């Protein structure tokens, strides 16, 4: 499967009476976007704002971050099974608006949304402080249940990202990249002396608003299966999560998965990138056993030499991570895992809820319990009235002067377990 990605770099976002991309500037028609969002009768209002890198701006409570894209050539469309029809994507030509994102916000759960600071010490811990962000704060109708509120905000983000992505359809990209993988037999013939490597991509699916969607299907309802890596670049996997902000895989993370990009960078050089194996993180032990059994089975059937395993979340998913690792190692396939740590504020506690000697190659995204002080910002997009109860916060986290003292856990993407950050530990 072969996909050409075209990148249009955005260096500014401005509100206008017409939506367009011109000379690297994204002009957004506020009324058109609001009308699109409020087609959903579950939302009573939406407020749009813009946050630029380096500004004294705090965005919270953050739900999701999405990069606008458009399918220019080939089957299917962006976000198949969600916005576009259920066609297999990952081939043809896709354009992306780079250096910007759509950020959705709203007090959906309250304790499991996050914070993005556009400047100050907090900005160093999130990749989204480097982007020009169109922020949508969505308010539900009175009495709406949390899961319906989450769905409304989720779809609002995807619809707006699709609307903005369409603006790039007729543009000439600033740069292009081509990504291609091969069938099993063809890959062996093409790269007979290179190790066969795959990516075991664990998807958060514990339920209770801990959801990830694959072609529109809740991952908890799926069995471990194979995806072509380029499918994720067309939005085959999207976030529906209200989980701890620091290691949440937003839709932006899925679209720009660094494991996928790094494996492609070595594809045909030092390794043969065979495929992605997606597996869920369910609640019950039987489901964990089933999913990890299938992960190991597929690794063996594909005659892999090695895999990278990434998880999402902590605690309960640590069990899935170790079960996958043990079983894959047991069938003769080497593993390297990507995780983060909850080692206590002093860094001296056990980092993971589960462990095993087979998991002897580990990349960490850092300690989410580390305490950080976020200074007051001149501007807040959203609201601060839940900061004391956000995961990683405590009673008194929001200081009288407007600053915040909390664990790194509150910052969106701070310890991301795809390695989409610059924080680590050793």
Question: Which residues is 273 bridged to in the sheet?
Answer: 197
Q: What is the Cα–Cα distance from 105 to 158, expressed in whole angstroms? A: 13
Q: Which two tokens stand for residue 213?
A: 């969607």
Going by C-alpha positions, the residue among 336, 321, 309 that lies closest to residue 199 is 309
Cβ atoms within 10 Å, residue 384: 16
Exactly one of 138, 242, 275, 299 is catalytic; which is it? 242
Query: Is position 242 annotated as part of the catalytic site?
Result: yes
Q: Helix 316-330 to helix 285-301 angle, to the nearest 10 degrees? A: 30
Q: What is the Cα–Cα distance from 179 to 133, expressed in whole angstroms? A: 27
Cβ atoms within 10 Å, residue 343: 19
Q: Which residues contact 101 (CB under 8 A, 6 or more apart)?
A: 65, 66, 67, 68, 128, 131, 132, 133, 134, 252
Structural contact between residues 96 and 67, judged by C-beta atoms closer than 8 angstroms: yes
Q: What is the Cα–Cα distance from 308 to 200, expressed in whole angstroms? A: 6
Q: Cite the active site residues.
A: 242
């Amino acid at each position: 499967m072969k996909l050409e990605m075209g990148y249009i770099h955005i260096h500014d976002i401005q509100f206008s009476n017409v939506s367009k991309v011109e000379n690297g500037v994204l002009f957004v028609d506020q009324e058109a976007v609001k009308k699109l969002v409020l087609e959903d009768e579950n939302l009573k209002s939406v407020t749009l704002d813009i946050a630029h890198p380096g500004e004294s701006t705090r965005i919270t409570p953050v739900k999701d971050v999405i990069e606008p894209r458009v399918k220019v050539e080939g089957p299917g469309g962006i976000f198949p099974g969600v916005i576009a029809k259920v066609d297999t994507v990952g081939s043809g030509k896709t354009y992306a608006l780079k250096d910007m994102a759509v950020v959705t916000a709203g007090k959906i759960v309250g304790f499991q949304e996050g914070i993005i600071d556009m400047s100050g010490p907090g900005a160093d811990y999130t990749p989204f402080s480097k982007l020009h962000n169109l922020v949508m704060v969505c308010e539900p109708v009175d009495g709406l249940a949390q899961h319906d509120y989450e769905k409304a905000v989720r779809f609002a983000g995807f619809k707006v990202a699709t609307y903005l992505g369409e603006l790039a359809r007729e543009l000439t990209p600033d740069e292009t990249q081509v990504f291609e993988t091969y069938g099993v037999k063809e890959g062996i013939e093409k790269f007979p002396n290179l190790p066969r490597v795959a990516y075991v991509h664990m998807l958060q699916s514990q339920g209770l608003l801990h959801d990830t969607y694959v072609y529109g299907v809740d991952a908890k309802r799926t069995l471990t299966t194979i995806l072509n890596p380029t499918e994720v670049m067309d939005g085959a996997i999207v976030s529906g999560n209200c989980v701890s902000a620091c290691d949440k895989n937003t839709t932006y993370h899925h679209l720009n998965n660094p494991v996928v990009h790094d494996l492609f960078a070595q594809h045909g050089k030092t390794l043969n990138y065979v495929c992605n194996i997606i597996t869920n993180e369910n609640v019950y032990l039987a489901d964990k056993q089933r999913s990890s059994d299938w992960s190991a089975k597929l690794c063996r059937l594909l005659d892999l030499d090695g895999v990278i395993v990434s998880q999402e979340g902590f605690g309960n998913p640590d069990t899935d991570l170790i079960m996958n690792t043990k079983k894959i190692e047991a069938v003769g396939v080497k593993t390297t895992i990507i995780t983060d740590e909850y080692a206590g504020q002093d860094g001296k506690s056990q980092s993971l809820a589960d462990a095993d000697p087979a998991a002897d190659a580990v990349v960490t995204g850092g300690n989410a319990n580390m305490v950080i002080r976020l200074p007051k910002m001149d501007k807040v997009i959203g609201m601060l009235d839940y900061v004391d109860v956000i995961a990683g916060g405590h009673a008194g986290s929001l200081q009288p002067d407007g600053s915040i003292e909390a664990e790194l856990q509150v910052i969106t993407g701070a310890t991301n377990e795809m390695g989409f950050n610059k924080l680590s530990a050793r």
